[in-house]
Chains A and B, each alone.
Chain A
């Protein structure tokens, strides 16, 4: 039916594009990217703000500019792209079923697969926001698409719940469009997104930031008319007597992202219960041989640059697998220790340079991230859950580790303590 596919990539956002390019560069012949939307690039088309590529290109790009560089390269390398093509099924043996308005319905069995489905936004009832159920309540990303792709503004008096990056970026975007952002409401005592977004998108526009608050009630029907905002207690439950009503005609939710792994589950890929993404080794191979994963489908990143780097590894490894080359072993398990929520990759070989990505559970000041007992680690002035920590470890460091070590615990400890 089709020519043999070496590497099939599910998703064409920054992760999928990076994986496709690297797979090609690493010698995979037929590389196919499946994208369910109308264009390549995933959600980068709606990210018209800047801040993309600072690390990867050393330049300050917008989302579409960042995307275009990868699309051009992928096209130059003759990556095959299937648009409006949705992978409906994925099996352990790599068999995929794809529905496409352009190519019809097809089934294929690529030698290797890269999962690059990204993530989705958490919704209203997952975080217990009650009251009426009117229209005018959107996730921040949904509103971002309305404004930046479709050309519409959901309302002129906006409340934003959650201080994730997309929420704060939309606070600025909507302010620039002439809407009034009444408040950004965050249940935690600190902001959920990057500090640069807190400063540039919220404080610089004098948008009230209500930390330790949540929305205890939604009012109005069929259109939202107001929200009741309450202070929260230590369990993040609203405290009676602290209610204030804020009138609004739209409520945006920026309350967290969830790796999108329905296809992974279908294929039997083991997921990390803490993160919700596949358990991967340093080559980004999942528990299923020949199925790799990169980017937000594995764990949600703060910066697109890291998504690109991580997915390049997945693409390169998928090409190696397709060619029958040997991949790194999973000799050593990386175990989250004190104040570490998770670590990616979950296993390493100890034979090559490796970059560890991790997040802490709680904010702390002046800490050392300690990697096992003998390695150098890293001192940080401050850590917080919203900022991913990235540690590059040269292969030489692993030489310090005793032969036969099966696991290395990573802790975040006070700087003095070693």
Chain B
């Protein structure tokens, strides 16, 4: 395979890698973004509750922490960024709920720390006001610390938007490209991937859960990170009205910090943090799911296990876990020149816009020549969301293209037209369609639409149904043809094919 040459290689197409690629695309820099999965944001980014906060909710937050500064710098950037990229951003506000005095005093300390650094938006809410704001909250709640600033977004949607906009502005993107090895030569780095070698002068290591492993390939791992696991559950939209704000609390016991909030699409997402765990283990257990459910029911008793449509886990990489949940890694490697390591841990999503700018600054410090492009286009159009259109718009759209009249995912009202748009934007798998359009994310969990999504993917990509995968690699959905498993079945099948 021929060698791909680039000036800056970003390893990892999660939200930080994509944000960095987009930031770099403002300059005349030859940039390449590689991602080992077949689509953007399938690592830590997809298993994220989508909260854009001020960092003040993190009880350990300190002004001396690098990540705190990155979060605060990001606060004014996030909403305009979402507007430019047509990613929905809903300012729901955040309620730190307490059920006893000890919990209240923790919030009090947090409030004063926030005020010390100039975040003055936190205010105490009395019990009556709290129940006006959240009528389904447990009657055990005594009050809350309210911050009106935090918002919710769909992190994978923002991730995809950033990658698409970077690509529009000239970044070379390579999905399904796994970095196997990196060596430092005289003229820069030689990177071995499953898709052929890449030569590059600079590397931004945004490999997320694998950030330390990628750094170690070239002995640039002067840091230690720990994977922290969170358990998350999604509820049916039918009960979407039970929670209006981001609600969180800290109470002793397993899953000490727990959180529940609406999603931009009208579901409810809940979760518990955090336990240290093996980073490759994405499986859920009945026991931990029960803990997560019990925890959320302590806050909102009307939530029922029957309304859970999905449980999943996510990881983030925290530095120096043993010393207390500490800081991020956003720094040039002190041992290997022109190699930048990046991982935020928590709250990575909230910190992402300023972190991307900081990475570009670090690259400039390492003598990357930055010349602004005159023709940078900050805007990117989101694919159609049929369910959100007005009657008139729906009528017009179907009249233009009948595919928008064919509802494929009935739970989320996703049309064939939207699925075709997603494929044209780069979705190649069932999950790729899911993250771009919501098809299959509803209460029936693709029972109705999966077969149809597979057929549309096959048709649009010009492949057979059997080649369609859930998420790339060896995740084919349909292993055999009818009769293929019978004696002499293969010949029956080949006849059918002819």
Contacts and interface: CB of A to CB of B under 8 A. Distances in A.
B402 A130 contact: no
B375 interface: no
Interface in B389-427: 391, 394-395, 398-399, 402-407, 410, 413, 415-416
A133 B286 contact: no
B475 interface: yes
A150 B309 contact: no
Interface string A182-221: 0000000000000000000000000000000000111001
B478 interface: yes
Given A134-B475, A154-B479, A178-B484, 9 more contacts: A84-B406, A86-B407, A99-B405, A105-B398, A125-B233, A126-B308, A156-B479, A178-B486, A237-B286
A145 B444 CA distance: 15
Interface stretch (A116-124, A296-304, A394-402): A116-124
Nearest to B386: A99
Contact of A177 (B309, B476, B486): B486
Interface stretch (B201-209, B212-220, B447-455): B447-455
Contact of A150 (B285, B391, B395, B478): B478
Contacts of B312: 133
B238 A265 contact: yes
B308 A101 contact: no
A366 interface: no
Consensus secondary structure, chain B interface: mixed
Contacts of B298: none
A145 B449 CA distance: 11
Interface stretch (A135-143, A330-338, A339-347): A135-143
B471 interface: yes
Contact of B451 (A84, A149, A216, A262): A149
> What 3 A-B pairs have minimum CB-CB distances, sorted nearest first?
A178-B485, A222-B475, A152-B478
Nearest to B473: A222
Nearest to A87: B407
A146 B447 contact: no
A221 B484 contact: no
Interface residues of A, number: 58
Contact of A153 (B308, B404, B450, B479): B479
21 contacts: A88-B413, A99-B405, A105-B395, A105-B398, A126-B306, A126-B308, A131-B283, A131-B285, A132-B282, A135-B475, A150-B454, A150-B455, A150-B465, A151-B482, A152-B466, A152-B482, A153-B479, A153-B481, A156-B479, A216-B286, A222-B469
Interface string B15-34: 00000000000000000000
Given A135-B469, A153-B484, A178-B489, A104 B478 contact: no
A378 to B, nearest CB: 33
Contacts of A142: 446-448, 450-451
Contact of B470 (A102, A135, A217): A135
B289 interface: yes
A238 interface: yes
Interface in A88-129: 88, 97, 99-105, 107, 120-121, 123-126, 128
A22 to B, nearest CB: 26
B459 interface: no
Nearest to A216: B286
A100 B485 CA distance: 39
Contacts of B284: 130-131, 133
A178 B489 CA distance: 9
Interface in B249-298: 282-286, 289
A147 interface: yes
Contacts of B289: 128, 130
A104 B485 contact: no
